[in-house]
Structures are given as structure tokens and as C-alpha cells.
Amino acid sequence: MTSRKRARSVEKKDTKSPQKPNADKAVADVVESSKPKKRTKAPTRKSTADSKKNESTLKVVNVAYGEVNKKGEKIPVTSLERHKKGKDDFTALAWNVGSLRSLLNHKSHELVDLCKKEQPDIIGLMEIKLSNDDMCDECDNLLREAVEDVLGPVEIVWNHCTAKKGYSGTAFVVRKSAGKFETKLGIDGKEDPEGRAITLEFDDMAVVLCYVPNSGQDLNRLGYRTSGNDCFDAKLAKYCERLDKPTLLLGDMNVADRDVDIWNVEKPHIPKSAGTTNEERQSFRDHYTSQGFIDTFANMHPDATGCFSYWSVRARNKPKNRGLRLDYVLAAPSFPMDKMKDAFILEDFAPHGDHCPVGVTFRRSKKHPLKRQ
């Protein structure tokens, strides 16, 4: 029987929108943007200034979303060319599953299909909602049954929530072929009663999985997320920067950074809603993108529209593709972006809504280890 790594978490500036374009033209622009796009070759690190150049374009695109919504039509998704994984490639996925027991007991075929299609080397799972070791043991067996026939032997790392039952928690599924690694729970080894973060440290890279706290319906955790030098966003970014290896940060960041990542950005409630407040969006830019972190999907597909990773189940928003892009793979400044081959969103794995997996593929093998940027 394969060995298993196991650990228990310790208790505990916005510009004005341009003039509204002609509605029919706006809709046509979105439809045009949904046509197949080639992957961007040799992605480069973009500065904050580069992002600002696209700001007005993004606002025009979102006015077009509004016109599509008014017509009751589905927001088109840009069709993106995928990279075919080779023998020297490494694929990392992140998926907020919203209850791992539910997934394994009722929809394990979705996880099996995901593994068959993407052949991931590591899978980060979030919001697993496991509260104790017994629940982790139960899911450990079910998880192995689901994935090992496809991926071969795996190691599983758990960081369950001890703060309250049925809440938060993270886990990593790692193929044995990915190489040896060390594990850290929490951010920088600090107490992590909500089971928010896990770090895998390989010889040549580090991968940080994080389920960033939601600010809450009443925004009661907004300050915890975004205020001051000791806020959650600041701690997480600084931790990733301190890792002395090429580093990826992946997970549910609970923020929609760009206007194009929000299906109804023009609505007045958006700046007051968790995940789309000005404070959260600015914090993401201040601590990540302006500090050299690369949003891999936006970097490789800068013109893509309608590409979301979350849809409200309660509002039945998936059929009309009315979503948000809340899930990311961020490349820290240390990560060599010339090795990045693909960044993608797997919206088909959320047929009724909620979160879908996101991921990246990059060149990394025993013959081609990563080197710090």
C-alpha cells in the first residue's frame, strides 16, 4: 500500500467608464471574441502599466456583456487552443469542490474523467469540508480508489479545518512520479485552524495551494482580507516571495480582478459584493500583479472573454454563462514563464454551476528541472 503524507492543522482607483457603445455592435464584439483563439506564444511578464492599457477595452467588453444579458442570451465563451501535454510537461490543477465527501460519494466519475482528460501531476482540492481525522481517513480511501487506476500511485496531503465543522479545508493529490517533496501546512508554518493552505516543496519548485477566505455576505472579513500590512493577502504574497524556488500559487482567490472577469460589472451592487469589491480587487493588484506575480490565464489569453470559473447555483447562472473568474494559477516572480505552455479553465466540470477546475501545464521533468527566474 502506498505511503501517505498526513498532518493535522493546529487549532487554533477606478477610471470612469467610456461612453456606452452601440448595443448591437457591442454584442457583435463579444460574439466575435468567442471565436477560436490561438494560444499566446512565449508569454512574458506584464507590468501594471501594460494592464492599464487594456482597462478601457475591458470596460467596453463588459458593456457588451450587459447588452447580451439584456437580450437574455448566453454570454459567449472564447474558444481557446489547448497545448497537448508531452512527456516532459507537468500539469497542476486546482478545484474548489464544495464538499469532498459529496463529490466522492455522488460524483466520483467527474474526478475520474478529469484525471483521464488532463493527466494531472498534482491536484489541489479546496473547501473539502472535513472536520477530523476519521473523515479524512474515509475520504483518503475513496480518493485513492477514484484516481489511482488513472494516475498510478499517489500521495495525499490533508489540512482539514478544526475551527468549525463542515467548513473550509484543503488537500493535495500528488502523483508519485511528480517527485519527492516536503509539506508545510498553513502560511509560513503559522497556525491554520481553517485549513486554508498547503505548500509542496520539490527539489526544483514550490507549489502553494490556498483557499482564500470569502469576505462574507456582510463583508465582515473584508478587513481581515485586505486591510494593512498584516492582512491575509499581504501575508500570502510575502510568503510565496520568500520561498527560495520557482513558485506557483494556485487556488480559489475569491476575487475577480479584471472587469472582463465579472459578468455584470456595470451593476451598482458589484462594488459592495464579496469578491468584487474595490478593496479586494485593489488588494489583489497591490500584493500580487503589481509585485511581479503573473495571472497565467490572463497572460496567455489576454483577449479571451466569457471565461469564468464560478457560477451561482442558487441563481441558476451556468446556462447563461453568468459567472465570475475567482480561481487562479499565479506564477510568482521566481517562476520562469518561458516554461509555461498552457493555462486553462475547465468549465465543463461544473455543469450546473459553482466552481470548476483551473490549471496550467509547463515544461518540467527530471531532465528539465525548473530554475529560478
Residue numbers annotated as active site: 211, 252, 355
Q: Does the annotation flag 54 for ligand binding? A: no
Q: Known binder of ligand: residue 96?
A: yes
- Confirm or deny that 137 is annotated as ligand binding: no
89 is in an annotated binding site: no
Antiparallel, parallel or unpaired: β 323-324 and 327-331:
unpaired
Q: Are strands 294-295 and 181-185 parallel, antiparallel or unpaired?
A: unpaired
Nearest to 368 by CA among 189, 218, 179: 179
Q: CA separation (Å) from 49 to 46, 52, 289, 303? A: 8, 5, 11, 17
Q: Look up residue 180 and give its three cell numbers.
A: 519527492
Q: Which three cell numbers stand for residue 196?
A: 486554508
Distance (Å, rounded) from C-alpha 283 to C-alpha 288?
8
* 109 annotated as ligand-binding: no
CA 178-236-243 angle, to 5 degrees, is 50
Strands 310-311 and 327-331: unpaired
| Chain centre distance of CA 294 | 12
User: Whole-angstrom Cα distance, residue 251 to residue 25?
Assistant: 36
Residue 252 annotated as binding site: yes
Residue 80 has what DSSP assignment? B
Residue numbers in the known binding site are 96, 127, 252, 254, 354-355
Residues annotated within the binding site for Mg(2+) are 96, 127, 252, 254, 354-355
